[in-house]
């Protein structure tokens, strides 16, 4: 018999006999630079977790939370950390864990009382899901892994069935599927893309869940919400309530028992199936309040409420534009095949006392020209001044302003000739050309490690 305790979002504690597996620990009330909170506020007594293994599925900050790992390292440095990501691996070692292993997808791990098989993802992130098999049951924790089609789901299950020598896993499906379910619109909202309900994507998701053929399903890995002052984004990012999703799965997969994801709930998983049996005494939940209504008609205004002097923020942003962004964009234009005669990148930096409109215009060879008229941009980015400064100085990473609605982008970069119109291969968020998303993330992790190493009571270093 296995017991799985839902601890919020993608955090689960699996107990198989004496073995304890902790997935994607997220102990703090807010995360991702305080942009997000737990949808169901809860407190967890971390001393009661006592994991033998900590599995961090990937490096996204709602799964890889440095303060949470630090707390667990303080409690037991001998917990074994497993991850596919080199940044997570390095960070876990620096936090003091004595046993850290980076393993790829399709890897089998034999443990006392259970076997793990890491499962592949077909997206761009370095990540895996996990199938946990005991003597009598299997649980497939999808986490955030991306499936392109039902065939991908069947392929994952067939590979795991072969690794476990359990053909029934492929033919019948897992005992329990912890399912990725919310068709988030967070990036679409920021990139001026289609804002309405994603019919095609959601249809594909339901078909993939049907292909899994699970005996039971619990919605998982979508238990966060935007925290104040970013809460207005909740109405444009989350198209579905969990209750509606459960109803849809029950209709599409009538042979699958669909259970509610109860934070703190402990689920028994055995040969008879899955049942919610009780509540973990070390988890205290608060009232989560009414769920937001999906209202994707408009984004909230882009504002900066940071109390720091706006003149200093605007000046630092201007230095970044001239010293780092402009040279990076010149290289991009120079490397474009068949670049148009001119290309203009517009960046609006929004501060409390106004906005600065930077226009960077280049010829086809990447030479800087006089700025084009305000209305003549090819790519437009807009960002809160404080967020931009914090990213370039390592106190945040690009994901925070992007998901907070404080970074937005739109592109109309194209070339027209006698053969027609062709979109130019230019990234909508051109800020990434000066500082890549991954590099900003690595800097931010380093910043968190320095902050955690700061003795209590000492002031933080000046930026």
Please write the tens of the pLDDT for every residue from 328-372. 999 999 999 989 999 999 999 999 999 999 999 999 999 999 998
In the chain, where does the domain assigned CATH 3.60.15.10 lie?
2-285
The hierarchical CATH code for the domain 310-453 is 3.30.1050.10
Q: What is the mean pLDDT of the chain?
A: 96
Give whole-number Cα distances, 211 to 101, 154, 158, 291, in Å: 32, 7, 12, 30
Please write the tens of the pLDDT for every residue from 200-217. 999 999 999 999 999 999
Give the max Cα distance, the chain.
72
Using CA atoms, how far apart are residues 456 and 349, in angstroms rounded to an integer? 35
pLDDT of residue 456: 58
Average the pLDDT over 424-431 and give the result.
98
pLDDT of residue 338: 86
pLDDT range class, residue 458, cuts 50, 70, 90? low
In the chain, where does the domain assigned CATH 3.30.1050.10 lie?
310-453
Please write the tens of the pLDDT for every residue from 91-126. 999 999 999 999 999 999 999 999 999 999 999 999
pLDDT range class, residue 287, cuts 50, 70, 90? confident
* Whether 424 contacts 380, CB under 8 Å: no
Question: Which conformational region is residue 354 in: left (phi greater than 0), alpha (psi within -120 to 50 degrees), or beta?
Answer: left
For 398, half-sphere exposure in the C-beta direction (CA atoms, 13 angstrom radius) is 19
Using CA atoms, how far apart are residues 268 and 2, in angstroms rounded to an integer? 6
pLDDT of residue 457: 52
**What distance lies between CA 230 and its chain's CA centroid?**
17
Does residue 462 register a pLDDT over 50? no
Concatenating the DSSP letter of every residue in 388-450 gives HHHHHTTSS-THHHHHHT-EEEEE--EEEETTEEEE----SSGGGGTS-HHHHHHHHHHHHHH
Average the pLDDT over 312-334 and give the result.
98
CA dihedral 380, 382, 388, 392 (to 10 degrees): -10
The DSSP code for 81 is E
Using CA atoms, how far apart are residues 31 and 51, in angstroms rounded to an integer? 21
Does residue 242 register a pLDDT over 60? yes
Looking up tokens 């935007």 gives 226
* Whether 72 contacts 98, CB under 8 Å: no
Q: Domain 2-285 in CATH: superfamily?
A: Ribonuclease Z/Hydroxyacylglutathione hydrolase-like (3.60.15.10)
Q: Which residues pair with 225 in a beta bridge?
A: 37
Does residue 171 register a pLDDT over 70? yes
Please write the tens of the pLDDT for every residue from 14-50. 999 999 999 999 999 999 999 999 999 999 999 999 9
Does residue 459 register a pLDDT over 80? no
Count the residues in the chain: 463
For 235, half-sphere exposure in the C-beta direction (CA atoms, 13 angstrom radius) is 11
Question: Which conformational region is residue 125 in: left (phi greater than 0), alpha (psi within -120 to 50 degrees), or beta?
Answer: beta
pLDDT range class, residue 463, cuts 50, 70, 90? very low
């Amino acid at each position: 018999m296995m017991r799985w305790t839902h601890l919020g979002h993608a955090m689960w504690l699996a107990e198989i006999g004496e073995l304890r597996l902790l997935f994607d620990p997220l102990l703090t009330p807010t995360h991702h630079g305080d942009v997000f909170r737990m949808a169901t506020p809860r407190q967890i007594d971390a001393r009661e977790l006592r994991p033998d293994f900590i599995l961090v599925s990937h490096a996204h900050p709602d799964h890889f939370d440095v303060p949470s790992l630090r707390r667990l390292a303080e409690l037991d440095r001998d917990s074994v950390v497993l991850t596919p990501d080199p940044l997570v691996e390095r960070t876990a070692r620096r936090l003091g864990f004595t046993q850290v292993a980076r393993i790829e997808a399709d890897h089998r791990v034999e443990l006392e009382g259970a076997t793990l098989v890491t499962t592949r993802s077909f997206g761009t992130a370095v990540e895996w899901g996990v199938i946990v098999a005991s003597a009598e049951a299997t649980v497939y924790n999808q986490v955030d892994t991306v499936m392109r089609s039902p065939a991908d789901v069947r392929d994952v299950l067939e590979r795991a069935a072969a690794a476990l020598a359990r053909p029934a896993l492929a033919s019948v499906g897992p005992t329990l599927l912890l399912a990725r379910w919310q068709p988030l619109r967070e990036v679409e909202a920021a990139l001026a893309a289609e804002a309405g309900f994603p019919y095609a994507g959601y249809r594909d998701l339901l078909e993939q869940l049907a292909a899994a053929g699970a005996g039971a399903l619990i919605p998982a890995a979508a238990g966060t919400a935007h925290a104040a002052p970013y809460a207005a984004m909740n109405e444009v990012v989350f198209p579905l309530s969990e209750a509606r999703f459960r109803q849809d799965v029950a209709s599409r997969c009538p042979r699958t028992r669909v259970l509610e994801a109860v934070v703190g709930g402990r689920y028994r998983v055995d040969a008879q199936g899955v049942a919610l049996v009780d509540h973990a005494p070390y988890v205290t939940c608060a009232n989560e309040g009414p769920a937001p209504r999906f209202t994707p008609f408009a984004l909230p205004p882009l504002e900066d409420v940071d109390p720091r002097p706006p003149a200093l923020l605007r000046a630092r942003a201007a230095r970044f534009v001239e010293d780092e962004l402009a040279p990076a964009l010149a290289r991009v234009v120079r490397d474009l095949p068949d670049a148009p005669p001119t290309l203009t990148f517009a960046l609006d930096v929004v501060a409390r006392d106004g906005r600065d409109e930077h226009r960077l215009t280049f010829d086809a060879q990447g030479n800087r020209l006089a700025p084009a008229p305000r209305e003549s941009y090819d790519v437009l980015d807009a960002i809160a001044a404080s967020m931009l400064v914090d990213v370039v100085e390592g106190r945040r990473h690009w994901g925070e302003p992007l998901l907070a609605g404080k970074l937005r982008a739109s592109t109309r970069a194209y070339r027209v000739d006698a053969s027609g119109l062709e979109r130019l291969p230019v990234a909508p968020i051109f800020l990434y050309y000066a500082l890549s998303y991954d590099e900003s993330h690595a800097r931010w992790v380093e910043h968190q490690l320095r902050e955690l190493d700061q003795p209590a009571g000492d002031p933080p270093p000046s930026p």
